[in-house]
Amino acid sequence: MLIPHDTRIALDTVVDLLNTAPEGGGGDGLADVAALYAFVRDHDVSGVGDLGERDLRAVREVRNRFTEVFSATDARTAAELINQLVAAAGTTPQLTDHDGYDWHVHYFAPGASVADHLAADCGMALAFIVVAGEQDRLRHCEAPDCGRAFVDLSRNRSRRYCDSRTCGNRLHVAAYRARRKEAATG
């Protein structure tokens, strides 16, 4: 699946945004405005000015809506949710080549809030996945104690864990130990 650079960045951003939710047991990764500033900085979200409590609440609401998209059981439901997010953000596609990146499309309006920026750009990246018939690539980690979001971009759509080095390896080691224990007692 060929994904343009800016779409890939937006997909990574939406996954990281989803994984700030407190449902994973690690607390809210957007607990305060300082955490929102850090998220914006870490993801090179452009055109963001001063942030406040209103921005934090709005980004958390966008995060909740993206959670619904990842949990949608069919493409039609995902599409409806994405359409609502993108429309509410006041989408205004523009070609740009800022900060050393080649030409790419920003979908947010000039001067948009950080929540509208994320809703528009990340929503359009998710729209790209749905249009390609690949909504089943929007997944949650299958490790019983995890559940973090990820986009499966593997060639054969076989990725099961958010990170094979942590969740995947931990489960494989546990299964190996269980087999060895069973063999020793059996």
Kindly tell me if the per-residue pLDDT of 25 is higher than 90.
Answer: no
DSSP one-letter code for 109: P
Q: Judge contact between 9 and 2, C-beta under 8 A.
A: no
Paired tokens of 168: 């995947």
Q: Which amino acid is at 167?
A: C
The tens digit of pLDDT for each residue in 33-86 reads 999 999 999 998 988 889 999 999 999 999 999 999 999 999 999 999 999 999
pLDDT at residue 23, rounded to an integer: 78
Q: Give the 3-state secondary structure of 47-89.
A: CCCCCCHHHHHHHHHHHHHHHHHHHCCCHHHHHHHHHHHHHHC
CA 39/CA 24 separation, integer angstroms: 17
The tens digit of pLDDT for each residue in 80-93 reads 999 999 999 988 88
Which residue did the predictor score with more confidence, 93 or 164?
Answer: 93
CA 95/CA 33 separation, integer angstroms: 30
Task: Compute the radius of gyration of the chain from its Cα atoms.
Answer: 18
Q: In the predicted model, what is the mean pLDDT of residues 136-153?
A: 90
The tens digit of pLDDT for each residue in 97-143 reads 877 778 888 888 888 899 999 999 999 999 999 999 999 999 999 88
CA 22/CA 29 separation, integer angstroms: 7
Confidence bin at 16 (pLDDT 50/70/90): very high
- Residues β-bridged to residue 105: 95
Q: Judge contact between 104 and 6, C-beta under 8 A.
A: yes
Using alpha carbons, select from 31, 113, 118 the residue that is nearest to residue 66.
118
Task: Write the CB contacts of 28 (distance below 8 Å, at least 6 apart in sequence).
Answer: 20, 21, 22, 35
